[in-house]
Each structure stands twice: as structure tokens, then as C-alpha cells.
Amino acid sequence: MNIKSQKDFFSGLVYVVVGGAFAIGATNYNVGTGARMGPGYFPLLLGILLAIIGAFVMFKSLTVETQDGDKIGSWAWKPLFFIIVGNLLFGILLGGLPSIGLPAMGLIAAIFGTTIVVSKAGDVFNLKEVLILATILSIGSYAAFVLLLKLQFPVWPTFITG
Amino acid sequence: MELFDNLALGFGVAFTFQNLIYAFIGCLLGTLIGVLPGVGPVATIAMLLPATYALPPVAALIMLAGIYYGAQYGGSTTAILVNLPGEASSVVTMIDGYQMARKGRAGPALAAAGLGSFFAGCVGTLILAAFAGPLTEVAFKFGPAEYFSLMVLGLIGAVVLASGSLIKAVGMIVLGLLMGLIGTDVNSGVARFSFDIPELTDGVGFITIAMGVFGYGEIISNLSKPEEDREVFTAKVTGLMPNAEDFKNMIPAVLRGTFLGSALGILPGGGALLAAFAAYTIEKKTKLRPGEVPFGQGNIRGVAAPESANNSASQTSFIPLLTLGIPPNAVMALMVGAMTIHNIQPGPQVMTSNPELFWGLIASMWIGNAMLIILNLPLIGIWIKLLTVPYRWLFPAIVLFCAIGVYSTNNNTFDIWMVAMFGVVGYGFIKLGMEPAPLLLGFILGPMMEENLRRAMLLSRGDWSVFVTRPLSASLLAVALLLLIIVALPSIKSKREEAFVEE
């Protein structure tokens, strides 16, 4: 059997797996009856519905012809990796990781770290340019979020401010 | 006239110096972010939402309305100048708008979009003010069964009118509904699907989903495309105002677009896209005047009509939100989230319990539209400059603002881990051709639907027929079914798919 639409086949698969997982998970809670629904009733219903939709999408992807096979195409691993890692780094630098004893480094350090890592996701990477960008973003963010909007951020590393 | 009393009350609230400033800042920020290529209105609003947390509710909503209009106008600007639609409904504007820009007529195209939108916005506001009252009366007759059926209709409408593959979009809705159920069940107090993570017992934050899926997902997908796909026409913008001939062509198109948009916008399910498409189709069907440029090659009517339709529809789409509390599209779903953060539960009771807020918001919508004209026509030059900012500077800034915004929602790094996860998920959605907008809508409606389903079934003692024996509920479900059948008809199906191919 040939997959006629790769995109649809895998989205159907996602629906079946996620729907199934929610439905199975829902049985851990009290399902109840129609008149007195427990916390598991609606998720069970929706989970089964999603799995059925997924099965239908998969079935269609195996039977209905498409022009070019609807290929998913190659994944952009590089941008995916650097954007997500840059984002995670922002959280780690800003708030620290108490579980491994890493102190909070504050907003400014987080902005520099994130800007540098995220910039790696692009085609061109020019360190000098990125550092200028990070400086502008730091000043701008400090002015906008801390001074103007008065949002609560740890701005400087905790070992400096105490 | 009660209508004018109410509007006077609204303008009284909105016309304070402080609120005018917030409307202005909102428009400015909205346009500023919305004009950036690859950032649609949903991502813009999600990104700027934290900026309104510190404000009092009325001011916050006024600023949000400003952001909304600014973002939409910014989206049209990118559609015209870069051939990059910020959202689905500016796809139509792109067809003729971009051609006008290529011929050096970007100025008139932008002005036509702006003036058309302003006029449509004024009409939309009036309709909103006139219909909100009577509709609220209807809303009080709604029981849980009716609400449930209305939400079904809204969700079906959203995918029928606004998405590519129908069945996949329905799947996204259900997925969204399920994700909305994560967290503590209000009836039993059981924490569902929270994996014993304390932060998850509050549910998944809708901002983390919106930013992860719409913000990060889009950026990653943009970066994977080669740079030359983004072509900007900036040097050639001269002569801003349309000439007399343009106006002659534009005015009837604007009127038709406005009328169509106002009517379709009221439908639950976000008529903005449908309105834009329908308005363009109608313009295309009317006869060309002698000497007029054919459609698809830069006809000004092809810009003015869909833009007016789009804007009046987005205005009237506030009607279901404000009167029934049901968001008709992803942007409105974000507005619900914003209102909830400010302790306002959207719905019929807002009008009676908070009249200043309700009418103030409506008045501020008009002010927001007026602000756009004042702000954008003279400033078009600056927005165009913004478009020339290289993407390699933009995307780190966008990622950073998303991260800051997500963190400031709860002052909690847990949300940052969540947004990273949704970024990966969002990119996966794009790769698999799964549309994220229905997911967000489902996510917001999930808990509401469950609550109303439970109540309806409790009242009927477990009898499912309650949804078809109550006339209002039955007719709502019938309309939903009808929509599905119409779309499934072969002739409509092929037309519909044609319309979405260009996305």
C-alpha cells in the first residue's frame, strides 16, 4: 500500500495517537454517566472523536491520489534547534536553575545569551552585528518593560544584587 | 434614542486624555509589530498582550483594540509591499495590491486600503452598537443546551469558512478542545492530564500556545525558506493619494465590500476571510470601466473591496464575542483571554454590569480606526523603512519579545519551557499542513463547552435529545449541519479548494 499524501498520513497518525492517549488517560478519572458527568466523560468522548478523525484522515491519505505525493519535505533542523535552545537559554539565564544550583543571571545576561544563540539560526552570522543588536535590545527592553511598564524582572545576576 | 445615549456614554469614557493615549499607543505598537513580515495579527496581539497587564481594565481593552486594528493594517501593508500575507484574509489584498506596488502605485494601494478600512470600520461600529443591545436580550434566553449548540456552530463555521482541508481542521478543533481541558476540573477538583506538575493544574496558558505555535513556528518556517522569496518594493513609493479616477472606482467597491463584510462578520465562525474573498469575487464579476486595469494586474478595486469587507467583518465579529461571550476566530479568542486576565467574563452580563466598559470599548473601536488613518497615512514612509530591516535582525528580537512576554504573564520560567515545546509543535503543524488557528479557538472554547454540556445534560437527566428538542438549539445545530453539507457539495468543494490554493 502506497502513501498517497505524506502530510495527511502523518497528521492522521498524530490525531490517532494523541486522541488515543487522551481517551486512555481519561479512563483514569471518574467517567460518570450522561446526567452526572465525571471529569473523565468529556475528554474520553473527545479523545475517541479525535482518534476516529485521525483514522479517517489516514485512510484518505492512502486512497485519494494527490499530484505530487504531498511530501513533508526536509525539516529545518538548524533554525528549529537554535530558536528553541535560545528560548530555553532565556529562561535558564533569567530565572536560574535551582535544581542544579545555577543562580539567576538576570534580564540583561538573558537578552545577550538569547540574541546570540537565536541569531545562529539565520544564514548569516556576524558576531559584531549581533552584539550591537543585543545591546540595543537590552537597553530597549529595560526601558520599555522595567522602567515604563514596571514589570517584575530580575535585571542583574543575583550574586551582584544579593 | 437609546443607541445614541449609549454611544455618548461610550465616547465619554473613551475620550479621556488617558484612554486616547492608550488607543494611540496601541495602534502605534500594533502597526509597528504587525508590519514586520511574517508576524500576523494573532502573533502581534499575543506578543503585546503583556504590555496591557498593568493597566486598568477599560484602558487595557482600549489599547488592545488599538493593537488589533494596528496589527491588521500592518498586515495589509506587508501584503501589498512584500507579497507576504500576515493572515489568511489579506491573501486577497495581495493579488492586486502587490501588482499595484510593482507598478509603482504602492501609495494609492495603501491609501485605498486605509481609507476603505476606515469607512468600513465606522459602519461596522454603528452596526455593532445597534445590534449589541437586542442580541444581548436574545442571549439571556439561552440555556446551556443553546450555548453548547452555538459553540458547535461557531467551531464548524470557523473551519468551513476559513481553512484548507476540512477534516484536518476539525481534528485541530478537537485537539484544541482537549488541550483546553488540561488542568483542574471545576466541578470535581480533579487535576486532569497534569502529570503531577503543579503549574499544569492551572491549565496550559493560552499565551504560551499562541506564541509558541504562531510566533516560533512561523519564524522557524520563514527561516527555512530562501531569502529571495521576500521581495520588498520600497524605493518606488511616491504619490500617496489616489487620484480622482481611483476614487471613482474605489467608492462603489468600498460600499459593496463594507455591506458584505458587515453581514458576514456577524456569523459565528469568523467571516473576515470569507468576506474578503466574496467581496473580491463580486468586484471581479462587475464590468470593467473603459480604461480600467484588469483584475490581477493592479486594479484598485481589488484592494479597496476586500480590505473594507475584511475590516467591517472584523468589527461586527465583536458582536458574538461581546453579546454571547463566544469568540468567532483566533484573534477574538485572544481577546477573551485578555478579558479574563482583567477579570471580565465576556458575555451578555458585561453590558448590564459594566456599561462603561462595554460602550467604551465600542467607542474606542471607532477611535482606533480613526487613529489608524491619522497615524498611518502620514507615517507610511516609516513603516516601509521598517520593512527594509533585514530579517536577521528581526527574528532574534521577535523571539526575545515572545520570551519576555511569556515570562511576564506569570513571572514564571515554567511558561518559557512550555512555549519552547509549543514552538516545536507549531513547526510540526506547519510541516504537516495542520492549521493552528482552529486549535486556538477550540482551546478557548473547550472548558466552556464542557461546562455547558454538563449543565444541559444534568437538566435533561442524561437525555441527549435535549439538543434537538429545544427549538433554538436544534436550529443552531441544523445550521451547522447545513454548512458542512454545503461545503461537501462537489461544485462548492472544488471552488473552495481553488480559493485556498493560493495560500
Which tens digit of pLDDT belongs to each residue from B200-258? 887 788 778 888 887 788 788 878 776 555 555 555 555 667 777 777 788 888 888 88
Beta-strand relationship, B191-192 and B183-184: antiparallel
Q: Is B40 exposed, middle or buried (0-12, 13-18, 19+ CB in 10 A)?
A: buried
- A43 contacts chain B (CB < 8 A): yes
Comparing C-alpha atoms, which of B379, B360, B312, B260 is closest to residue B119?
A: B312
Range from A63-67, A87-91, B42-46, B341-345 that averages highest in pLDDT: A87-91
Rounded CA-CA distance B348/B302 in Å is 37
Q: Can you tell me the mean pLDDT for B104-110? A: 79
pLDDT at A31 over 70: yes
Determine whether B16 is exposed, middle or buried from the number of CB atoms within 10 Å of its CB (0-12, 13-18, 19+). middle
Residue A113 clears pLDDT 80, i.e. is over it: yes
Mean pLDDT for the stretch of residues B367-395: 76
Q: Which residues contact A52 (CB under 8 A, 6 or more apart)?
A: A19
Closest residue to A76, CB basis, from B174, B188, B224: B224
**A79 in Cβ contact with A121 (< 8 Å):** yes
What residues 139-158 of chain A have any CB closer than 8 A to a CB of chain B? 141, 145, 149-153
What percent of chain A lies above the pLDDT cut of 90? Answer: 20
Query: Which of B178, B185, B399 has its CB closest to that of A114?
Result: B399
Instruction: Say how many domains are in chain B.
Output: 1
The mean per-residue pLDDT over the stretch B101-127 comes to 83
In the three-class reduction of DSSP (H, G, I as helix; E, B as strand; rest coil), residue B427 is classed as helix
CB contact under 8 A, B50 and A36: no
The 3-class secondary structure across B390-402, one letter per residue, is CHHHHHHHHHHHH
How does residue B503 score in pLDDT terms, banded at 50, 70 and 90? Answer: very low
Q: Is A111 within 8 Å of chain B by CB?
A: yes
CA distance B405 to B399: 10
Q: Considering only CA atoms, which of B396, B427, B229 is closest in space to residue A75? A: B427
pLDDT at B6 over 60: yes
Whether residues B453 and A37 touch (CB distance < 8 A) is answered with yes
The parent domain of residue B74 ranges over: 2-501
Length of chain A: 162
Min distance B379 CA to chain A CA atoms (Å):
22
Instruction: Determine the average pLDDT of the residues in B29-56.
Output: 76
Cβ–Cβ contact A123 with B under 8 A: yes
Least confident of B140-149, B333-342, B383-392: B383-392
The whole-number pLDDT of residue A5 equals 82
Reported as a pLDDT band with limits 50, 70 and 90, residue B502 is: very low
- Return mean pLDDT, chain B: 78
Confidence band of B267 (pLDDT split at 50, 70, 90): low
Three-state DSSP state, B184: strand
If one compares B205 and B273, the residue with the highest pLDDT of the two is B205
pLDDT at B164: 65
Interface test with A, best of B21, B159, B178, B193 (most A CBs within 10 A): B178
Cβ within 8 Å, pair B167-A35: no
- Return the residue in A83, A105, A108 with the most chain B beta carbons within 10 A, the one to mutate for interface testing: A83
Q: A83 touching B, CB under 8 A?
A: yes
What is the pLDDT at residue B227? 59
Name which of A84, A137, A148, A129 is nearest A110 in CA terms: A137
pLDDT at B424: 92
Q: Which of B391, B413, B464 is the best mutation test for A, with the most CBs of A within 10 A? A: B413
Phi, psi of B388 (to 5 degrees): -85, -5
pLDDT digit string, tens, across residues B163-197: 567 888 889 989 999 998 888 887 777 888 878 78
CA distance B290 to B374: 34
Q: Which of A45-59, A80-94, B351-365 has the highest mean pLDDT?
A: A45-59
pLDDT at B245: 77
Q: What is the pLDDT of residues A79-102, one digit of tens each?
A: 888 889 988 988 888 887 777 777
Residue range B311-319: mean pLDDT, rounded: 81
- Residue B341 CA to residue B335 CA, distance in Å, equals 10
Q: With an 8 Å Cβ cutoff, are B192 and A43 in contact?
A: yes
Contacts of A59 in chain B (CB under 8 A): none
Residues of chain A with C-beta less than 8 angstroms from the C-beta of B407: 90-91, 94-95, 153
Of the candidate ranges B147-151, B204-208, B474-478, the one whose mean pLDDT is the lowest: B204-208
What grid cell was written down for B362? 465600542
Band of the pLDDT at B85, cuts 50, 70, 90?
Answer: low
Q: pTM higher than 0.90, yes or no?
A: no
